[in-house]
């Protein structure tokens, strides 16, 4: 299941923030984990940065929500760290609705191409 496309709304709850998934001591990608507590549901956008070389899986409270959009791996295509430019250049992307309350989001490498990757979060309120 692919999660919805990127958020385009204009009232940010939290601006774009860059995160990385890096290898652990055995060379396996460590998931990025973020716990949040909000009073109302939020939309969360996730966009792959740098090269077009990965897909991400999203979990809320250890339940699989979906994967960001599939891509044709091409490491010669690079968008830098501008999320909107990355979207326009076909990098992996997706949007999920975060339920209200305290929850934990996990972002994991979906097994496509490189292990070292960066992505951005952008949350928007209704």
- Per the prediction, the chain carries an average pLDDT of 80
Phi, psi of 87 (to 5 degrees): -60, -45
Beta strands in 49-126 (DSSP E): 51-52, 56-60, 63-67, 74-78, 93-98, 101-109, 117-124
CA–CA distance, 87 with 20 (Å, rounded to integer): 17
64: confidence class by pLDDT, cuts 50, 70, 90:
very high
CB atoms within 10 A of CB 89: 13
Maximum pairwise Cα distance, the chain? 42
Of 45 and 126, more confident: 45
Q: What domains can be seen in the chain, in order of their start residue?
A: 12-124 (2.60.120.380)
**pTM score of the predicted model:** 0.80
125: confidence class by pLDDT, cuts 50, 70, 90:
low
Instruction: Give the pLDDT score at 12.
Output: 60
């Amino acid at each position: 299941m692919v999660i919805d496309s990127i958020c385009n709304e204009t009232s940010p709850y939290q601006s774009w923030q860059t995160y990385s998934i890096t290898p652990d001591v055995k060379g396996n990608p460590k998931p990025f984990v973020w716990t949040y507590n909000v009073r109302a549901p939020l939309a969360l956008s996730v966009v792959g940065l740098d090269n077009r070389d990965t897909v991400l899986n999203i979990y809320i409270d250890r339940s699989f929500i979906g994967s960001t959009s599939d891509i044709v791996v091409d490491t010669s295509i690079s968008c830098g760290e501008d999320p909107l430019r990355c979207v326009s250049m076909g990098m992996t992307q997706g949007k999920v609705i975060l339920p209200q309350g305290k929850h934990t989001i996990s972002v994991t490498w979906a097994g496509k191409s490189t292990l070292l990757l960066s992505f951005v979060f952008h949350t928007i309120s209704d």
